[in-house]
């Protein structure tokens, strides 16, 4: 009646200990996206500008994976210029916005990123990337609101510090 159950939690921890390395090993077998034109994907029917734009998008994604944000942005902008308002302009705008907002990008520009996402949503509302763009736009806007609130609070803190200094000066003058 007073015996404890033998190893219930230990079995759960053992399962996690086995599953974590297995899941990490499985991730190593996943190949990164590579753009390879093929006849099976109706590449033959695509316009030459679209094919060239997709080639630039692919180069941009390779630069992005290497952390070369400047060249990634250039390639994505070339793809957008070639695509105009046709496919894959939505992808080009999406990737331009991602590069501009990437945390590793030293020259990140949230305003440019937000503008690119909004243009993508306006010009390509039926794009498969629309829902992802909406989520990121919401996050960028929330980030902007938070930064403005922080700036206001920092201004209030500075004003309060100035008031404290003045009060301390008046108190010292009265003490004399």
The number of domains in the chain is 1
Say yes or no to pLDDT of 35 above 90: no
Q: Would 132 be classed as within a structural domain?
A: yes
In a domain, 52, yes or no: yes
CATH of the domain at 106: 1.25.40.10
Percent of the chain with pLDDT over 70: 74
In a domain, 54, yes or no: yes
Half-sphere exposure of 9 (CA within 13 A, CB side): 1
Calpha distance 41→165 (Å, rounded): 71
* Percentage of the chain modeled with pLDDT above 90: 65
Summarised one tens digit per residue, pLDDT across range 121-152 is 999 999 999 999 999 999 999 989 999 999 99
Residue 11 included in any domain: no
pTM beyond 0.75, yes or no? no
pLDDT value of position 175: 83
- The domain of 138 spans 44-175
Cα–Cα distance for residue pair 77/134, rounded to 1 Å: 21
Per-residue model confidence (pLDDT) at position 8: 55
* CA separation, residue 92 to residues 11, 48, 50, 114, 139 (Å): 49, 16, 11, 14, 20
Contact 100, 112 (CB under 8 A): yes
Calculate mean pLDDT across residues 64-79: 95
16-34 pLDDT, tens digit per residue, is: 565 566 565 555 544 555 5
């Amino acid at each position: 009646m007073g015996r404890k159950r033998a190893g219930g939690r230990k079995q759960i921890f053992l399962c996690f200990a086995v599953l974590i390395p297995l899941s990490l090993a499985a991730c190593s077998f996943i190949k990164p996206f590579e753009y390879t034109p093929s006849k099976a994907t109706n590449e033959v029917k695509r316009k030459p500008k679209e094919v060239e734009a997709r080639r630039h998008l692919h180069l941009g994604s390779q630069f992005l994976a290497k952390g070369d944000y400047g060249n990634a942005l250039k390639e994505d902008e070339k793809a957008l210029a070639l695509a105009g308002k046709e496919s894959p302009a939505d992808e080009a705008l999406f990737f331009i916005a991602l590069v501009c907002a990437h945390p590793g990008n030293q020259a990140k520009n949230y305003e440019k990123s937000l503008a690119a996402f909004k243009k993508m949503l306006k010009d390509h509302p039926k794009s498969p990337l629309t829902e992802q763009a909406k989520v990121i736009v919401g996050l960028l806007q929330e980030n902007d609101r938070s930064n403005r609130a922080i700036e206001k609070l920092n201004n209030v803190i500075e004003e309060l510090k100035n008031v404290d200094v003045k009060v301390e000066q008046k108190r010292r003058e009265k003490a004399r």
